[in-house]
Amino acid sequence: MALSLHLCHVTTHSLPLLHSPLANNLLPRKVPSLKKRFFTAAATMSSSPKKVLVPIANGSEPMEAVITIDVLRRSGADVTVASVDKQLRVDACHGVKIVADSLISDCKDTVFDLITLPGGIPGATNLKDCGILENMMKKQAADGRLYAAVCASPAVALGSWGLLKGLKATCYPSFMEQLAPSCATTVESRVQKDGIVVTSRGPGTTMEFAVALVEQLYGKEKADEVAGPLVMRSNHGDEYTITEFNPMKWTFDNGPQILVPIANGSEEMEAVMIIDILRRAKANVVVASVEDTLEIVASRKVKLVADMLLDEAAKLSFDLIVLPGGLGGAQAFANSEKLVNLLKKQKESNRPYGAICASPALVLEPHGLLKGKKATAFPAMCGKLSDQSEVENRVVVDGNLITSRGPGTSMEFALAIVEKFFGCNKALELVKIMLFS
């Protein structure tokens, strides 16, 4: 019988409750029936989504940008990703390449319900130095509309522009001294709300930050509705946990060579968190598109640029192949004969492979890659797994296989990979840097 090992023990997690959104109190003058009243309210809500601007720059922190965009789009917000540079494509931190929807100059006359800034250095500095963005943010504040920032940006951008005066705010720990003179009170809250301003601390707090922004825009019912499928931690201060069976040492020769395939419809939060965290650990991560082009359009319409096509990557040898989720992306993976063959060879040679969210159920299971293995997947997909005995665990390792549940477990999933290759101390070092717990 397999032995279940729990590393970095924590309390049992429970998922946030999934609530249905309440219809608002928009009533037509004449209401023939209750059914028509609710239809009219829903139609009115859907016709006017909140408009959100997420500026990005070379050197922006990709996790903070993409998580915020993804979560806000899940709420129904109309999110514009705008580059403050001269071109749409920005080179974010850790080699992640993101293509914006527009240039900031094309957005300067648009009224937004929210403008929210990711962090990252030099990304936060590049945002601060953008005159168009500075003018937009000052007008946003003067007009009493919501604005927000995470990581370095509360201190570097909002503070420098004088937009935190008299307010409580937080930021990345190493920027707290810079933040102090520009606001009334600095706090160490993971997310701090004060009037029309929301600030947060770093990559590990960004999902909470994004859900808080949904609540500010749409109310708590909508925030709870969005949070449920994210599979977030119930206690955000907890460390990560791994459930492991048949422990084996994951080895490599010259730094782990890791393949992360992406496709149209891949879950962008999952892909970016995996890539970002593994590169922080100094793994050599190759991002390969299974499409005919390097640029893919992910599940929530974030445009990412791969390092190479899968055909080129298939010529290389990898210590780990790991699949992000997303329904469309997982289906594309399952239909890629080349990728499936790579995964089968990986398993046959007893080298590590893994998947998160929809991919364990839609890619690994139908191709026999979970046979005799314990695994987990996105909650709604777990019924497709032949062995469902361990599906409630957030990260499951069985020998050379690692699986996980969804966007809210992606950071734990990536940290578990770091632990398997580099040891617990390296993983805990990243936990601290990213403010995961």
Residue of 8, 151, 357, 382 with catalytic role: 357
357 in active site: yes
Q: Hey, which residues does 354 pair with through a beta bridge?
A: 322, 402
Pick the closest to residue 242 from 377, 400, 412, 58 (CA basis).
412
Q: Do the strands 185-186 and 168-169 form a parallel or antiparallel pair, or are they unpaired?
A: parallel
Instruction: Say which residue the tokens 């361990």 belong to.
Output: 390
**What is the 3-state secondary structure of the chain?**
CCCCEEECCCCCCCCCCCCCCCCCCCCCCCCCCHHHHHHHHHHHHHHCCCEEEEEECCCCCHHHHHHHHHHHHHCCCEEEEEECCCCCEEECHHHCEEECCEEHHHCCCCCCCEEEECCCCCHHHHHHCCHHHHHHHHHHHHCCCEEEEECCHHHHHHHCCCCCCCCEECCCHHHHHHHHHHCCEECCCCEEEECCEEEECCHHHHHHHHHHHHHHHHCHHHHHHHHHHHCCCCCCCCCCCEEEECCCCCCCCCCCEEEEEECCCCCHHHHHHHHHHHHHCCCEEEEEECCCCCEEECCCCCEEECCEEHHHHCCCCCCEEEECCCHHHHHHHHCCHHHHHHHHHHHHCCCCEEEECCHHHHHHCCCCCCCCCCCCCCHHHHHHCCCCCCCCCCEEEECCEEEECCHHHHHHHHHHHHHHHHCHHHHHHHHHHHCCC
Which residues are catalytic, by number? 357
